[in-house]
Amino acid sequence: MHQASNSTSESHIGNIRVIRHEAQAYPVSLAEQEAEVNRILSGGGSPCIILTEHPPVFTIGASGSESDVLRTQIDGEDIAVFKSGRGGEVTYHGPGQLLCYVLADLRQEQDLHRHVWRLEEMIIRVLKAFGLAGERDARGIGIWVEGNKIAAIGVRCRRWVTYHGVALNINPNMKHFAGIVPCGMPNAPVTSMQTLGVNASRMGVESVLQPCAQELFGSAG
């Protein structure tokens, strides 16, 4: 069984506040994001990114269907199911996957499509640093490599403050994806950095991602 950890740190890169958790249960992470959104809206908090990891869980987005959860016991593990308020359909989260939740204040810009573009661009730049050619795809939001999805994106926006974000597959248990129809698309096979021959650590990926996040989100709003 995977146990969530309380190991947490906070730092800054440029004007972006970075909250990092070793791991969190998905409902705990969602509660943290909602609390941060409330602080931003009330003027008591600042935009930030949250870097974390979750024990195995299938999350159902606002346009998702429980019928896209095919089974919840895979490779000897029970996988939780949680209804999420984010956009999108059904997604898997688990160890070996980096979650980057971007809490951005778009009250001046008011352009959610641009925000999603930045999320995609951040992952494209990260993958490029590891020798992988990440691409957008007409099949849907997210990032793909060689026709397979490597990063899922789901966003929620409340009064022009965003939360949720990106799940990048570094080296998760790929068997777990067999329990769902990922993002509601049966023609969208998934992949990971490890599957593509890149043996990267989460810390190594974060060290590349954080400056990319600063470049793209540091002046957003």
Mean pLDDT of the 187-195 span: 90
Q: Annotated catalytic, 183?
A: yes
Mean pLDDT of the 140-145 span: 94
Q: Can you give the residue range of the structural domain that contains 65?
A: 8-217
The enclosing domain of 151 has a CATH number of 3.30.930.10
Question: Rounded distance, CA 18 to CA 41, Å?
Answer: 18
For the chain, give the mean pLDDT: 92
Per the domain annotation, does 3 fall within a domain? Answer: no
Q: Which of 48, 100, 183, 212 is catalytic?
A: 183
Tokens for 94, please give them.
């688990």
**Hey, what amino acid is at 177?**
F
Judge contact between 49 and 16, C-beta under 8 A.
yes
Per the domain annotation, does 1 fall within a domain? Answer: no
Per the domain annotation, does 121 fall within a domain? Answer: yes
Dihedral Cα 171, 177, 181, 187, nearest 10 deg: 60
The per-residue pLDDT for range 10-32, each reduced to its tens digit, is 999 988 999 999 999 999 999 99
Per the domain annotation, does 86 fall within a domain? Answer: yes
Could you say which DSSP state residue 3 is in?
Answer: -
* Helix boundaries (H) for the chain: 26-42, 112-129, 202-217
Per the domain annotation, does 201 fall within a domain? Answer: yes
Query: In the chain, what is the greatest distance between 2 CA atoms, to the nearest angstrom?
Result: 48
- pLDDT at residue 1 greater than cutoff 60: no
Q: Which of 118, 217, 105, 216 is nearest to 162 (CA)?
A: 105
% of the chain residues with pLDDT over 90: 79
Mean pLDDT of the 127-153 span: 95
Per the domain annotation, does 2 fall within a domain? Answer: no
Domain count, the chain: 1
- pLDDT at residue 220 greater than cutoff 60: no
Query: pLDDT grade, residue 6 (50/70/90)?
Result: low
Judge contact between 141 and 116, C-beta under 8 A.
yes
Mean pLDDT of the 123-128 span: 98
Tokens for 39, please give them.
């602080």
The per-residue pLDDT for range 20-68, each reduced to its tens digit, is 999 999 999 999 999 999 999 999 889 999 999 999 999 998 878 888 8
Mean pLDDT of the 181-185 span: 68
